[in-house]
């Protein structure tokens, strides 16, 4: 029997939102129109935190800059993003949480709405092999080809996370019933569908709405960054 540990990324393993910070990074580096992009980036982020994000409108906005530049250029920017923004925000407490599950022999996976281009190097920095993210359509070679600006499959968001996790489990030769226990660590009310699906919900640095649900369901709250 297998024990599963699922982790959201933004404001769960990281004390920041990598999608939001990537947008701010593009503004800072002059890749996008600064006034427009900064304003829209904040608007979508506010919608996400309020639980009313139109994921398709956001993705149309966020993926446009990726489609306008080569993979080589994007990778170069991402290296800088990792060094300047992400690595300073990888905290010992988050690394210790992941290591605890790895030392137990648990199957560990990050499940995030943020796209796989932004998140794959971050997840690797945590030493986690498995990632379920919003997947981007690539033109040509999967490693070097450019991004089309479109999503491949369904966005890994809200109920979509449940669908994507179940598809992934099936590919591992697993199902919910085959698991001894399943954990899900998340900060966001948007992740309530998946939190209700696992056997052990772990609200982590929860937003106000998820904190209320945690009280209603007697889910112990984990404050990872205090």
**For residue range 108-132, what is the model confidence (pLDDT) as tens digits?**
999 999 999 999 999 999 999 999 9
Question: How much of the chain exceeds pLDDT 90, in percent?
Answer: 99
**26-68 pLDDT, tens per residue?**
999 999 999 999 999 999 999 999 999 999 999 999 999 999 9
CATH number (domain holding residue 204): 3.40.50.1000
- CA–centroid distance for 23 within its chain: 15
Residues 158 and 137 in one domain: yes
Residues 125 and 38 in one domain: no
Torsion angles phi and psi, residue 51, rounded to 5: 80, 25
Q: How far apart are CA 134 and CA 112, in angstroms?
A: 7
Residues 54 and 106 in one domain: no
Band (93; pLDDT cuts 50, 70, 90): very high
Catalytic: 106? Answer: no
Domain that holds residue 59: 18-88
Any domain includes 95: yes
Residue that is last in its domain, among 88, 105, 124: 88
Residue that is last in its domain, among 88, 113, 138: 88
**128-157 pLDDT, tens per residue?**
999 999 999 999 999 999 999 999 999 999
The beta strands (E) that lie in the chain are given as 2-7, 107-115, 130-139, 146-152, 179-186, 200-203
Residues 73 and 95 in one domain: no
Tell me how far apart the 2 most distant CA atoms of the chain are, in Å.
Answer: 53
Residue with tokens 């993979």: 71
What is the separation, in whole angstroms, between the first and last Cα of the chain? 34
**What distances in angstroms separate CA 32 from CA 78, 112, 222, one per listed residue?**
15, 24, 37
Residues 9 and 53 in one domain: no
Any domain includes 223: no
Catalytic: 103? Answer: no
CB-based contacts of 104, cutoff 8 Å, min separation 6: 3
Residues 152 and 101 in one domain: yes
Residues 11 and 122 in one domain: yes
Residues 171 and 133 in one domain: yes
Record the pTM. Answer: 0.97
Residues 146 and 125 in one domain: yes
Q: Compute the C-alpha angle 89/94/99, nearest 5°.
A: 135
Any domain includes 157: yes
Question: Of the residues 10, 19, 106, 191, which is catalytic?
Answer: 10
Band (187; pLDDT cuts 50, 70, 90): very high
pLDDT at 13 over 90: yes
Question: Of the residues 8, 19, 106, 207, which is catalytic?
Answer: 8
Band (1; pLDDT cuts 50, 70, 90): confident
Using CB atoms within 10 Å of the CB of residue 96, give its burial: 0 to 12 exposed, 13 to 18 middle, 19+ buried. Answer: exposed
Token pair belonging to 195? 């939190």
Q: How far apart are CA 133 and CA 8, in angstroms?
A: 10
The reported pLDDT for the residue numbered 226 is: 81
Output the average pLDDT for the chain.
Answer: 97
Sheet hosting strand 2-7, strand order edge to edge: 146-152, 130-139, 107-115, 2-7, 179-186, 200-203
Residues 78 and 110 in one domain: no
The reported pLDDT for the residue numbered 87 is: 98
pLDDT at 182 over 90: yes
């Amino acid at each position: 029997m297998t024990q599963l540990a699922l982790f959201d990324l933004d404001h769960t393993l990281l004390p920041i939102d990598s999608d939001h910070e990537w947008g701010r990074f593009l503004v800072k580096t002059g890749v996008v129109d600064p006034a427009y992009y900064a304003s829209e980036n904040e608007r979508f982020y506010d919608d996400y935190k309020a639980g009313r994000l139109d994921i398709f409108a956001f993705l149309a906005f966020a993926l446009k800059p990726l489609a306008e530049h080569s993979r080589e250029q994007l990778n170069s920017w991402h290296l800088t993003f990792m060094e300047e923004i992400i690595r300073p925000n990888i905290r010992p407490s988050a690394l210790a949480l992941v290591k605890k599950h790895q030392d137990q022999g648990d199957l560990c996976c990050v499940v995030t709405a943020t796209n796989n281009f932004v998140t794959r190097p971050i997840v690797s920095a945590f030493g986690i092999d498995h990632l379920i993210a919003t997947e981007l359509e690539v033109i040509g070679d999967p490693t070097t080809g450019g991004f089309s600006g479109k999503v491949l499959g369904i966005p890994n968001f809200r109920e979509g996370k449940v669908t994507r996790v179940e598809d992934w489990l099936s590919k591992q030769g697993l199902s919910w019933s085959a698991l001894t226990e399943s954990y899900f660590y998340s900060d966001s009310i948007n992740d309530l569908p998946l939190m209700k699906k696992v056997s052990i919900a772990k609200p982590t640095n929860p937003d106000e709405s998820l904190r209320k649900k945690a009280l209603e369901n007697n889910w112990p709250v984990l404050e990872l960054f205090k």
